[in-house]
Structure 1
């Protein structure tokens, strides 16, 4: 073996693996989802992702930075799926709401990840010291309600809801129901059990859609 070949082999050995950011975030997301923000340590993240601590610091700055990135990852992977079901232009307002809830129930109980909503599960375990993280999660909750409100306002403007319906009250009610479904899923409720709640919601829809009239 000549010197050039030997040098090439030595160079190939020990070449660092490329950091897979998305794979690391998926593993971090599940860890935060299962144990909460404060219940997850940097050592846990290092073990779960297989990356060294300096690599994680270089990519995310600190644990909070990685949590914020995991929040964005959750929104990208799961929350937008339900939102797409809601705003489908081919669906009437009732079907849009039902599709949104069915899609969310499927996400909450698919068995491949921790049950319930990532935002709700992690915010419920925060201490008073995690004010910035808590504020970020509150904003995410507000965004969910705002998204529902925007959808209902658009359908009201199109004449699908009575002009006197309080769409803000309806959006707030729907968000409360979603939060309750998340808690039930976290406690082990099945997809069928959540679907029963959605069946009840849709039976009540004719009355709910006239709130404030």
Structure 2
């Protein structure tokens, strides 16, 4: 066929856009695996199953084991070429629509960690939750917890909690006779109360 159309191929100029876009399509080294993965991917798409490149690689490795093909790696390069040969594209999900009839959980927590540079002196976590007394802690005394427990409606760090934390930290460091430098960002909750 190429020889029959030789005039067409010879008519391309060296700098023509058609010649620049010509690429040699390489055959797969593992056509049995690619055929099996391609069939699996088509079936998954028809069934509405979403998958990504990692899933394709894992499936290809399992199929290679079943076919007793030992030198197949399912590398990132193989995945890229497989997707090109089979016209598969990976799309990122932007947002999830809420499931009808289901209520979205609104549980939130904030946690603050305090330690020295070497990490050998750590203070208990500062834990902020939305409820003053959650059901799971109903019979438990807050001071007996291994964390410093605080609460507010949005589980956010606020000036009053941070001020209380600073006073608590100051008393611990004075008692231990330590001088410290505390690093914190410039969030409004980290500014002293007026």
Return the TM-score normalized by structure 1: 0.22
Relative CO higher for 1 or 2, CA cutoff 8 Å, sep ≥ 6?
1
Q: Looking at secondary structure, tell me which structure has more strand per residue.
A: 2
- Which protein has the larger Cα radius of gyration, Structure 1 or Structure 2? 2
Return the TM-score normalized by structure 2: 0.24
